[in-house]
Chains A and B, each alone.
Chain A
């Protein structure tokens, strides 16, 4: 078991599976296809991100450095939270970027979303966690890799 501590942006207690992107996640490219289809789950549609392409991320913990891409990014995060097909948690190794921060805040204030967001978990976190690992997230920003 390895434990990491980050800054809580939107807190919560949660246990579940990790999906890991080592590169910045392009929000629009990742979620666009599933959202356009009104899908019940998000299957990642960004062909330029081989870490997560075609992976189902709804209800999982998306572990990433930051988000990148279009300034619609914040709106896209709000949209998938509104549709309740979002990852349960966004776990950022770096300081959250402004577009993802906008999305998390929009989801909290305008959608009443319970999405969890923790940032500044460190590069070591992203090196240690693997897709499929089980994670435990605590309200205080502690993230534990269970296996």
Chain B
């Protein structure tokens, strides 16, 4: 039996010792051992009824995952409440694949997808539309101060920063275990001290900075530390529930989390804890990082080009990693339509895929705006672009994106939103 270093309540100790069965004991042991490594002082209750899991793909190599899921189901263990999960890895209807690519996806990469989705459903998946990295756009919205057991770096940083919930950057499986046990170890971003900023970031750009590049610059500089950002509220306003601010902060946060390892940021005058506590959130020994136009250019120029043929023309464009808000989807539809008209074209120049949560896609497909989007040649999907680019056969493709996360984890080439628009509407070769 594992002897925990942290203090456990009698109920938690009972769970660890098998009072609720062997499976629950192993789940608890995993969480307690994990917390002990990080000096957690106790286990605290998960207070949001909905979790969010990062592992959405039935990738064949993760055999222990499927076995463990089966063991949990056979033991009758379920999450308390429900959970959402990251996007599905495949969508042949809207993201074209050749027969060889499909073979690799179906037989080698995601051979366990159907089995895994059944397992997710048995353990508490909210519904068949609950596949998105931006779960807070489809109703999985924790309250300020809620303790979460989530994974998916972009969702965790959004929940911590914009919603004021409390969650550490968890790994796949630990997210599920926290939802099952109803407890998570208390350390890091769950504590008041862990939420204090070690960096003052001062934005001095001449105009509203590109969210994905600003996030990238800050992530690369502060890595896993918490930044307190000055100067953004002049562009984003003071209401973190405003839909345009949500879209910006979603994309900014995803870049901080993937280009660095940021789990929480504060925006002066905008995010809830910054409004509430202001500079009391900043540690006395905080370092300073000033970002101007030249710094953003330096950062963007530092991105390596991973294409096999650097001068290739774009073959595939992904917009929406993390998934787009409904407003962003509509804005992109308008911009692509107008861009094509300006450039005297009727169709986009390469396969273009916009990605958003399934619920938002379903609603969008009911309206006339969807027909406008289809008329441009672009397609709408709820796929995970990252999972698509896991296929080694796709690595020869010239993929472009306005997502800094996708750039980081694949060979996709990053462009700013306006540059992407010009490329796909024929304004730029």
In the complex, are the beta carbons of B172 and A74 less than 8 A apart?
yes
- In the assembled complex, the Cα of A35 lies from the Cα of B65 at a distance in Å of 14
In the complex, are the beta carbons of A101 and B153 less than 8 A apart?
no
In the complex, are the beta carbons of A71 and B61 less than 8 A apart?
no
**A residues 59-100 touching B (CB-CB < 8 Å):** 69-76, 78-79, 82-83, 96-99
Interface size for A (C-beta < 8 A) is: 29
Contact status of A109 and B30, CB under 8 A, knowing A71-B54, A71-B171: yes
Contact status of A111 and B64, CB under 8 A, knowing A75-B172, A98-B171, A99-B171: yes
**Which of A71, A103, A109 has most chain B Cβ within 10 Å?**
A71
In the complex, are the beta carbons of B108 and A110 less than 8 A apart?
no
In the complex, are the beta carbons of B34 and A70 less than 8 A apart?
no
Smallest CB separation, A8 vs chain B (Å):
11
Smallest CB separation, B41 vs chain A (Å):
17
Smallest CB separation, A72 vs chain B (Å):
5
Partner of A82, one of B37, B64, B172, B409: B64
Complex interface: chain B residues within 8 A of A76 (CB)? 61-62
Smallest CB separation, A113 vs chain B (Å):
10
- In the assembled complex, the Cα of A9 lies from the Cα of B172 at a distance in Å of 20
- In the assembled complex, the Cα of A14 lies from the Cα of B59 at a distance in Å of 33
In the complex, are the beta carbons of B34 and A105 less than 8 A apart?
yes
Contact status of A101 and B152, CB under 8 A, knowing A36-B61, A82-B64: no
Complex interface: chain A residues within 8 A of B171 (CB)? 71-75, 98-99, 102-103
- In the assembled complex, the Cα of A97 lies from the Cα of B171 at a distance in Å of 10
Smallest CB separation, B398 vs chain A (Å):
18
Complex interface: chain B residues within 8 A of A41 (CB)? none
- In the assembled complex, the Cα of A108 lies from the Cα of B2 at a distance in Å of 11
- In the assembled complex, the Cα of A101 lies from the Cα of B30 at a distance in Å of 10
Interface flag for B173 (CB, 8 Å): yes
Per-residue interface assignment for chain B, residues 171 to 196, with 1 indicating a CB less than 8 Å from any chain A CB and 0 otherwise? 11110000000000000000000000
- In the assembled complex, the Cα of A11 lies from the Cα of B380 at a distance in Å of 50
Contact status of A109 and B55, CB under 8 A, knowing A75-B62, A78-B173: no
**Which of A75, A76, A99, A108 has most chain B Cβ within 10 Å?**
A75
Interface flag for A32 (CB, 8 Å): yes
- In the assembled complex, the Cα of A76 lies from the Cα of B151 at a distance in Å of 15
Q: Which residue of A is nearest B169, CB measured?
A: A98
Interface flag for A20 (CB, 8 Å): no
Interface flag for A106 (CB, 8 Å): yes
In the complex, are the beta carbons of B61 and A98 less than 8 A apart?
no
Per-residue interface assignment for chain B, residues 43 to 80, with 1 indicating a CB less than 8 Å from any chain A CB and 0 otherwise? 00000000000110001111111001000000000000
Supply 17 A–B pairs (Cβ within 8 Å), ascending by A: A32-B61, A72-B59, A72-B171, A74-B172, A75-B171, A75-B172, A75-B173, A79-B63, A82-B63, A97-B261, A102-B172, A103-B171, A105-B30, A106-B30, A109-B29, A109-B33, A110-B26
10 pairs of A and B residues whose beta carbons are closest in the complex: A74-B171, A102-B171, A35-B61, A82-B64, A105-B33, A71-B54, A99-B171, A101-B37, A109-B30, A75-B172
Given A71-B170, A71-B171: 18 more A-B contacts, CB < 8 Å: A36-B60, A36-B108, A71-B169, A72-B55, A72-B171, A74-B172, A75-B172, A76-B61, A79-B61, A82-B63, A83-B63, A98-B38, A98-B171, A99-B171, A103-B171, A108-B33, A109-B29, A110-B26
B residues at A contact (CB < 8 Å): 26, 29-30, 33-34, 37-38, 54-55, 59-65, 68, 108-109, 151-153, 168-174, 261, 409
